[in-house]
Amino acid sequence: MTLNPPPSQHSPPNRRVLIVGNYCHDVLIQNGSVVAETLGGAASFISNVLDSSSVSCELVSKVGHDFRYEVTHSPIVVPEKATTVFEAYFDLGVDVIGHADRVLKRVSACDPILPSDIPDSRFDFGMAVGVGGEILPETLEKMVEICDVVAVDIQALIRVFDPVDGSVKLVDLRESGFFHILHRIGYLKASSDEAFFMDVEQMKQLCCVVVTNGEKGCRIYHKDDETMVPPFVAKQVDPTGAGDSFLGGLVVGLVEGLAVPDAALLGNFFGSITVEHIGQPKFDLMMLQRVKEEVQRRKKQRNLSISHNNDQEEFHARLTPARFSCVDSPVQTELLVNGLSCDR
């Protein structure tokens, strides 16, 4: 891959990341019963990965008067509004393009994040990761002005919501109102389902496109390059937040100076852990230390030998054992779709 993180010679070791997206309250429902209620929103999963990885970040998020969670990064409270709430139904049939999946409904929405809510300072990386329509085109424009590189989750751009029941629908990226800004971003992340709503061939000429595909790993598209990044084996319990944790891991890798495919492999690593949990995972400290050591080892390899840049097998093999040091989490009930595991 030719797209690399911005130069670091004038930046501190812990590079600053700006995360923009609202916290949410997620309600998981199966067979008519509430299975779990958890802190949600892409920003929460991403900040969990960055904080656990000791990457300095600032988060801009809005919540309502009813926000009930203790979080490391305090949100902006809008007293007259309720916190954004999503209900995820695991037994209602198919998603927006005909695949068995969760059916998401936005029950309530807090206020959007305005350009005036974004701090007037510079950041090395920006992450536009709204889930409920809270990212505005003018807010993304402010982000690209103050951040050296901006990574965008396509769900922040193409989600729309049924006015009657709040069901999540997707629109084509060209019709989203954001298309005119996208030549200024560095990375666009989409799931394999969401990728149907953009022209990958067109977008890869504008920025680095990363398409995740669950248990199949992910693919990176940039200019004339296409790279497949392998997955990590995981027993899926709940897919909520897996793509967010992937994006968090990707940015952690970029902050640490990894090449894009290696950073995406780190994203696959964190995503694979998240799918094994309901809600946010609590990452094992020994695992995190092992990951940090392997990231530093990989950086040294990359600096010493160009031949290591395209060989991910060793990096994957050395990261894999770290996953299985995460043994302190209780076994959780697997959510099913139409009686089947909701694997993607």
150 falls within a domain: yes
CA count, 13 A, side-chain hemisphere, 39: 18
Question: Which residues does the annotation mark as catalytic?
Answer: 244
pTM for this predicted structure: 0.88
Residue 344 lies in a domain: no
Distance of alpha carbon 265 from alpha carbon 246, whole angstroms: 9
- Asked if residue 11 is part of any domain, the answer here is no
How far is 293 from 76, CA to CA, in rounded Å? Answer: 36
What pLDDT was estimated at residue 300? Answer: 86
Strands 218-222 and 225-229 come out as: antiparallel
Which are the contacts of 111, defined by CB distance < 8 A and separation ≥ 6? 62, 78, 81, 134
For residues 321-327, average pLDDT? 67
Average pLDDT over residues 290-301: 90
CB atoms within 10 A of CB 120: 9
**7 in a structural domain:** no
- Asked, for residue 4, whether it belongs to a domain, the answer is no
Distances in Å between the Cα of 4 and the Cα atoms of 14, 129, 188, 220 are 17, 21, 14, 13
Structural domain includes residue 184: yes
State the Cα–Cα distance between residues 291 and 134, nearest whole angstrom.
33
Contacts of 39 (CB under 8 A, 6+ apart): 23, 24, 25, 26, 69, 71, 279, 280
Residue 180 included in any domain? yes
Q: Which of 44, 168, 182, 174 is nearest to 95 (CA)?
A: 168
331 is in which domain, residue-wise?
18-338
Q: For the chain, what's the residue count?
A: 344
Highest mean pLDDT among 137-146, 271-280, 288-297: 137-146
Alpha helices in 214-340 (DSSP H): 242-255, 260-274, 285-304, 313-323
CA distances from 21 to 136, 190, 193, 271, 273 (A): 11, 16, 21, 19, 22
Percent of the chain with pLDDT over 90: 69
**Domains in the chain: how many in total?**
1
Taking only the tens place, the pLDDT of each residue in 189-232 is: 999 999 999 999 999 999 999 999 988 999 999 999 999 999 98
Question: Residue 344: pLDDT band by 50, 70, 90 thresholds?
Answer: very low
Closest CA to 41 of 187, 141, 156, 143: 156
What pLDDT is recorded for position 241?
A: 83
Place of tokens 């059916």: 103
If you average pLDDT over residues 65-89, what whole number do you get?
A: 96
Q: What is the CATH number of the domain that holds 40?
A: 3.40.1190.20
Establish if 240 belongs to a structural domain.
Answer: yes
Q: Which long-range contacts (CB under 8 A, 24 or more apart) does 319-322 make?
A: 319/232, 319/265, 319/266, 319/269, 319/291, 319/294, 320/232, 321/290, 322/269, 322/287, 322/290, 322/291, 322/294
**Rounded distance, CA 144 to CA 126, Å?**
8
Least confident of 74-83, 168-177, 224-233, 295-304: 295-304
pLDDT of residue 31: 85
